[in-house]
Amino acid sequence: MDESRYRDKSYLVTYDLTTDIFDGFGVEVIDIIPIRSVYMLYTDKGVKILKRINYPLDELKFINSVVNSIKKDGYDFVVPFMETPNGQYYVKQGEGIYVMLDMIEGREVDFRNVFDIQSAAKALCMLHKSTRGVSDILDTRNNLYKWVDTFKRRIDDLYKFKEIAELHEIKSSFDDIYLSYFDSYFDEARESVKALEDSSYIKLCDEAKENTNICHHDLAYHNILMDSENNIHFVDFDYCIADIRLHDIANLIVKSIKHYRWDIDKALLIIQNYSEIDEITKEELEVLYGFLLFPHDFYEVSRQYYMKTKKWDESDFSSKIGRKAGYYEDRKEFLKNFRLKLI
């Protein structure tokens, strides 16, 4: 087996795996298998996932209340943390806090499959509707009203990265690609802020503050599972935040199309199917456009490179930014069509 299968092994070694943890959850473990950054456990109570959380306890409490509230309010296809025999939902062991979840039997959705996309979009809408009852939003998990400031800060970062790249006497291939695309992406980032400032963004935040909306905030294909009866399960709420629903919708759109030539039809399909449950309004579409306009991917890989937040090789970085720069034209065409068709 190649090492990439264990690419999160550095995180796995932080697990303090003792039978105390299993006792704490009241399960008898028959077999343990490491998968990515978690363990899959075969237990006397079925197949479980054991996860060591890497955020503070108050955030875990928030996530727990979000998931339980969603389930209570009618969206059944989320996985609550398993209760321990003494009524808790986590076990402390050494320095770590551990949670256990049921393993969902289903397949990961495939963004090439229109049926999967349709189902995921409808389910996302139902999920959002079920988050209305969440109360006590944690400050650190509240992203309402923050988009414009965040984007402005990131625009400053993009400029700083440009200065760093220019300072390099011998430029890396990452620097070269970054500098050659800087002007175009920088303009898009500024346009994005302007589009948001001219939109109903604040009004939508006011409404979301009133009614509460929680975004899953990590809608990768492996966090959206379809079971044998075609129900969509959302898993891993580790990154969930209070925000307007467009944050998730935008993420679902981008994740569904960025590797598949930025196909506008797929974006329309997502909007249409989501709207079948609860309509995305015209003013929401303008805000969505503003969000999509910001070059999130380009910013993220540049931040990881210039702020050294990831320990990848130079060649990994180059190929990453190369890929993102490679779809520049497709993305531009997509944004043009989005504006023409929806705004």
Partner 1 sequence: MDILIEKDDLLYKKIIEEYELNIKYIKYVKESSSLYIDTGKKVFLLENIDDTINHVISTAGIYEHLNNKGFYNLLRIYKTKNGKYYMLYDKKIYILLDYEHHKLDLSKYPDKAIRLLGRFHKKAVGYLPPSGGKCKSNWGKWIEKYIKESKLLKKYMNEVLNKEEKTEFEDIFLSECHMYIDRMDKAIEILKNNNYVQAIEDSMKRHQLCICDFKQSNLYIKDKKIYIKSLDKCKYDIVEKDIADFLEEMLKASPEMKLEELVRLISLYEKENKLSKNSVNIISAFIIYPSSYEKVCSRYYKGKDKWDDKEYISKLNEARLFDNKKMELFICLNYKK
Comparison of 42 and 312: residue with beta carbon closer to partner 1: 42
Q: Which of 25, 51, 66, 116 binds partner 1 (CB under 8 A)?
A: 116
Comparison of 107 and 341: residue with beta carbon closer to partner 1: 107
* 336 near partner 1, rule: CB under 8 A: no
Find the helix or strand (DSSP H, E) in which 225 lies: strand 224-226
Comparison of 153 and 259: residue with beta carbon closer to partner 1: 259
| Candidate ranges 2-10, 123-131, 147-155, 205-213; the one touching partner 1 (CB under 8 A) | 2-10
CA dihedral 236, 242, 248, 249 (to 10 degrees): 150
Residues 221-239 as b/e (b if ≥16 CB within 10 A, e otherwise) read eebbbbeeeeebbbbbbbe
Residues 147-186 vs partner 1: string with x where CB under 8 A?
A: ----------------------------------------
8 Å CB contact between 81 and 64: yes
8 Å CB contact between 114 and 122: no
Q: Which residues pair with 50 in a beta bridge?
A: 39, 100
Q: How far is the CB of 103 from partner 1 (least distance, A)?
A: 6
Residues 17-36 vs partner 1: string with x where CB under 8 A?
A: --------------x-x-x-
In 278-327, which ranges are continuous DSSP H helix? 282-293, 296-306, 314-326
8 Å CB contact between 47 and 40: yes
* 86 near partner 1, rule: CB under 8 A: no
Q: How long, in residues, is the chain?
A: 343
Rounded CA-CA distance 325/181 in Å is: 7
Q: Which of 10, 230, 281, 309 binds partner 1 (CB under 8 A)?
A: 230
Find the helix or strand (DSSP H, E) in which 249 lies: helix 246-257
Residues 39-68 vs partner 1: string with x where CB under 8 A?
A: -x-x---xx---------------------
User: Residue 244 phi/psi, 5° resolution?
Assistant: -70, 150
Q: How far is the CB of 118 from partner 1 (least distance, A)?
A: 11
Q: How far is the CB of 307 from partner 1 (least distance, A)?
A: 30
Q: How far is the CB of 260 from partner 1 (least distance, A)?
A: 6
Q: How far is the CB of 1 from partner 1 (least distance, A)?
A: 5
| Four-residue CA torsion sign, 42, 46, 47, 52 | negative
Q: How far is the CB of 314 from partner 1 (least distance, A)?
A: 18
Tokens 């969930």 found at: 240
Residue 205 tokens, joined? 């935040």
Q: How far is the CB of 6 from partner 1 (least distance, A)?
A: 6
Comparison of 19 and 228: residue with beta carbon closer to partner 1: 228
Q: Which of 17, 60, 103, 202 binds partner 1 (CB under 8 A)?
A: 103
User: Residue 152 phi/psi, 5° resolution?
Assistant: -65, -40
* 309 near partner 1, rule: CB under 8 A: no
Exposed, middle or buried: residue 105 (CB in 10 Å: 0-12, 13-18, 19+)? exposed
* 108 near partner 1, rule: CB under 8 A: yes
Binding site for partner 1 (CB under 8 A): 1-2, 5-6, 31, 33, 35, 40, 42, 46-47, 103, 105, 107-108, 110, 112-116, 228, 230, 260-261
